[in-house]
């Protein structure tokens, strides 16, 4: 029981926090839902970049693939939300696997450039294939059936919120199990020393492809969720901005652990929301200042703040390093 509380206590606290927020901000459920969707995307990035150490600035490619495929699936095939999530996950995984076969042969800057290129290609395909995707107007006409046949999507976004919260919880538990399992340990291994991993008999390339594919599936779920809840898919879902923002949220929160991305996403989205409401023209300044502060004072992310503060309290030097 004690071990269970230690393992899952913080996750339950987060869940209660999210539920609490939904009661505190009953007219902002759409905003909260958007945060939850971003949490999934940032978690997927954390798996790929934080755990496996694969430098990417193109996670939006898989997010967009999930969004468009789930949208098209709902319009043309079946409007069931859960089936749509699966389709999104598969689309994200397939794109990540196919592009990963090439990308995972590269490292560092080359890899970053290629991930950007893949997202840009997807963006252009969605833009050009107007008949299918609606091009720059976006994919419209998504009408979802009730979740599990029971909960119809409503105008206030109540169903959307609970649906997204359920999806986040499942993804979080999945990743919590994965990162503690042998596979998760091996991802940390290829991050820290690919040479050593090869020397203990691991095909680093295939391990990287697998990590990228699993990350792609999760990003696909995030995209599918966005398509279903907002009932529209725009070209923005393939945008570089989305990939970059997800990366900033991850770095803000702290990479290589699961609570970091959750925290980083919440803080980024709230600061963004608040700053943009107060000053629609200069809100980016606030975000920039916040990122600078975190990178300088908490290089391991906001999640490391308590540790750093206790060390400061004890008068320790070099806190945060």
113 binds another protein (CB under 8 A): no
- The CB-of-199 to another protein minimum distance in angstroms stands at 6
- The CB-of-174 to another protein minimum distance in angstroms stands at 9
Would you say 92 and 265 are in contact if contact means Cβ atoms under 8 Å apart?
no
5 binds another protein (CB under 8 A): no
List 6, 131, 150, 182, residue binding another protein (CB under 8 A): 182
- Candidate segments 55-63, 132-140, 173-181, 233-241, binder of another protein by CB under 8 A: 173-181
Would you say 234 and 282 are in contact if contact means Cβ atoms under 8 Å apart?
no
List 5, 110, 203, 282, residue binding another protein (CB under 8 A): 203
Residue tagged 């206590």 (tokens): 9
53: Cβ–Cβ under 8 A, 6 or more apart, which residues?
187, 190, 191, 192
- The CB-of-90 to another protein minimum distance in angstroms stands at 18
Give the dihedral of Cα atoms 20, 249, 262, 233; nearest 10 deg.
80
CA atoms of 237 and 218, how far apart (whole Å) = 15
173 binds another protein (CB under 8 A): no
- The CB-of-184 to another protein minimum distance in angstroms stands at 7
Task: Give the nearer residue to another protein in terms of CB position, either 140 or 180.
Answer: 180
- Candidate segments 109-117, 123-131, 203-211, 279-287, binder of another protein by CB under 8 A: 203-211
Residue count at the site for another protein (CB under 8 A)?
25
- The CB-of-256 to another protein minimum distance in angstroms stands at 9
Q: What are the φ and ψ backbone dihedral angles of 47, each rounded to 5 degrees?
A: -60, -45
List 13, 156, 170, 185, residue binding another protein (CB under 8 A): 185
131 binds another protein (CB under 8 A): no
The Cα-based distances of 16 to 11, 19, 21, 70 in angstroms read 9, 5, 9, 29
Q: Among 77, 80, 45, 75, which residue's Cα sits nearest to residue 62?
A: 45
Task: Give the nearer residue to another protein in terms of CB position, either 79 or 178.
Answer: 178
Half-sphere exposure of 185 (CA within 13 A, CB side): 3
255 binds another protein (CB under 8 A): no
- Candidate segments 117-125, 128-136, 200-208, 291-299, binder of another protein by CB under 8 A: 200-208
321 binds another protein (CB under 8 A): no
199 binds another protein (CB under 8 A): yes
198 binds another protein (CB under 8 A): yes
Q: What letter does residue 48 receive in the DSSP assignment?
A: I
For 134-141, which contacts have Cβ atoms below 8 Å and span 24 or more sequence positions? 135/235, 136/235, 138/232, 138/233, 138/234, 138/235, 139/68, 139/71, 139/72, 139/75, 139/227, 139/232, 139/233, 139/234, 140/231, 140/232, 141/75
List 101, 120, 202, 232, residue binding another protein (CB under 8 A): 202
- If you count DSSP H runs as helices and E runs as strands, how many of each does the chain have, helices first? 14, 0
| Binding-site ranges for another protein (CB under 8 A) | 177-178, 180-186, 188-189, 192-193, 195-204, 207, 210
């Amino acid at each position: 029981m004690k071990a269970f509380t230690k393992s899952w206590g913080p996750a339950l606290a987060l869940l209660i926090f999210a539920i609490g927020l939904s009661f505190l901000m009953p007219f902002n459920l759409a905003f909260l839902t958007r945060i939850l969707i971003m949490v999934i995307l940032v978690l997927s990035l954390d798996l790929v970049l934080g755990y496996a150490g694969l430098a990417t600035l193109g996670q939006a490619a898989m997010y967009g693939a999930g969004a468009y495929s789930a949208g098209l699936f709902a319009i043309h095939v079946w409007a069931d939300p859960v089936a749509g999530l699966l389709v999104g996950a598969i689309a994200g995984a397939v794109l990540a696997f196919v592009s990963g076969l090439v990308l995972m042969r590269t490292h560092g800057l080359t890899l970053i450039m290629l991930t950007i290129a893949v997202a840009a290609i997807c963006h252009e395909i969605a833009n050009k294939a107007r008949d299918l995707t609606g091009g720059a107007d976006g994919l419209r006409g998504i009408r979802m059936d009730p979740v599990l046949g029971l909960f119809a999507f409503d105008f206030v976004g109540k169903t959307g919120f609970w649906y997204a919260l359920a999806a986040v919880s499942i993804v979080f538990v999945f990743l919590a199990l994965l990162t503690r399992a042998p596979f998760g340990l091996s991802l940390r291994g290829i991050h820290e020393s690919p040479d050593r991993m090869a020397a203990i008999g691991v095909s680093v390339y295939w391990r990287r492809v697998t990590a990228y594919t699993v990350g792609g599936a999760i990003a696909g779920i995030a995209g599918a969720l966005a398509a279903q809840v907002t009932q529209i898919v725009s070209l923005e879902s393939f945008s570089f901005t989305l990939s970059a923002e997800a990366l900033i949220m991850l770095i803000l929160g702290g990479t290589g652990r699961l609570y970091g991305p959750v925290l980083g996403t919440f803080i980024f989205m709230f600061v963004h929301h608040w700053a943009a409401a107060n000053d629609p023209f200069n809100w980016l300044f606030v975000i920039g200042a916040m990122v600078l502060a975190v990178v300088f004072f908490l290089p391991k992310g906001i999640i490391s703040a308590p540790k750093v503060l206790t060390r400061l309290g004890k008068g320790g030097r070099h806190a945060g390093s």
